[in-house]
Structure 1
Amino acid sequence: MLLPIIVVYNKEIKELPILNAPFQLKTEIFIYDNSLFPQEVPIIENLTIYYTHDKNNSGVSRAYNQGVMIAKKIDKRAVVLLDQDTIFTKDFLTLYEEKYIEYGEQYIYSPIICNSKSTKIYSPNLLNNFIGKTQSFDEFQFREKYDLNKKSVINSGLMIPISLFEKIGGYKENIKLDFSDIYFIEKYKKIENKIILIDLYINHCISGDEGYNFAKEYTRYKYYCLGAKELQNALNISIWHSPFRRLLRLTLKYKSFVFFKIFFTYFYK
């Protein structure tokens, strides 16, 4: 019924958290590998792995679109988007299937994404001028039919019925990483303004909230600026304040002006 899609980058498949425990039932997953070199696919009992290698690192949007194509070929009804480091329990697929049967194909389904200390809710997040803001864990109010007015959700953990995915038009492949979820959810909102929120709390680390890593944030900011520019063009909106806000934060954080060059090269020009 469901096909999990896992996008990996410079991570060994055998180290994926979802593969750590044995599979009691026959399961199929799709792995899209954006690493430079292809990997050997492990053989695991009761698990079929569909594997695609992309040395060009085309991004998550292409990976999701390719995953849906595979899902259609093997007669799945929905896909579940997973990150390489997100820790899920095996029975989460059963929980997703139960909610899918209850509410059907007109909704996107989302877990609750939080930090490891359970102080921040990353998703659903508050959305102001296309800038996501975390919610306080203590003040967060769970509603199964969750209104996305002035809110959004991130890609991680989303279950999307294939018929709805196609109605939305899929992910925009020019938006390779950052803002891919905002684009997709904004297109979804034109069809339906509520999602089904699953009572499942998942620990996850968000870019910019993982401490000091200059090389990683330097590279990631390029994708952020490119994604912002593509989103701006796709939705015909002005979004300069979002990459500029991150520019100021990174400049102060690392006491370096190199991020200005990225902003002007990848977004402003």
Structure 2
Amino acid sequence: MLIGRDLHWRFGGRRLLDGVSLTLRPGELHAVLGVNGAGKSTLLKLLAGDLHPSEGEVLLNQRPMRAWSLRQRARLRAVLPQGDNLRFAFSAREVVALGRQAAVSGSPAEEAALIDAALADADVLPLAERSYLQLSGGERQRVQLARVLAQLSQPPAREPVPGYLLLDEPTAALDLAHQHACMALLRRKLADGLGVLAVLHDINLAGRYADTVSLLHQGRMLAQGTPSEVLRPELLGRAYGSNLRFLPVGDPQRPHFDIAVADPD
């Protein structure tokens, strides 16, 4: 498991995260929701080991995150950050192959097959030989998703090792069809023993695809549990502001909302 216990993070004299705990289990998709500045990306970076908490601890498979070397971490968890800073004219295939640098464990043919499988999963195999810099924003996002999938892939003959995908707004640059394709792909990957944490802005994607949800507000955990426990109009109103109205529709176990701007007084 990947566990964050009582995590605090301070920067520039400000407390950006205040006593947040979260457990990510293999075979689980956990969505993290909240407004901009709620602490979602900070929480992801702490869980990834890219930041060290001011207080609290992060455990990766029962060992403190700091006890794992960078190479060991790269074999157990993969991170898809916000934004895209790659400015080299690599092909899409070469970008995905970068995900295998710390994880090479098979023959050249096996490694090539893992890269092709990740490209196919993310629906970018036809773009494999294209320059990354010539791709659209959504295509680049899918190539980066393929990269982190490849990072945690293993040759078929190897014994599976639980791994964790930490994704910061993986659907942000995607069109509607690819948003759902991305989330459906992440759910399929749970069968491989992966645990998936996704920072999302779309509460309806979280309601449809997540097993568990964390709702952050001003650096604190407002609610945590199943979608039906967390995605409730009163909690969402506290998190997102009283100027929005959340109108439930459909299955209460898989909450879905029509969202409207409240009428001014």
Taking structure 2 as the reference length, what is the TM-score of the superposition? Answer: 0.28
Taking structure 1 as the reference length, what is the TM-score of the superposition? Answer: 0.28
Larger RCO: 1 or 2 (CA < 8 Å, sep 6+): 2
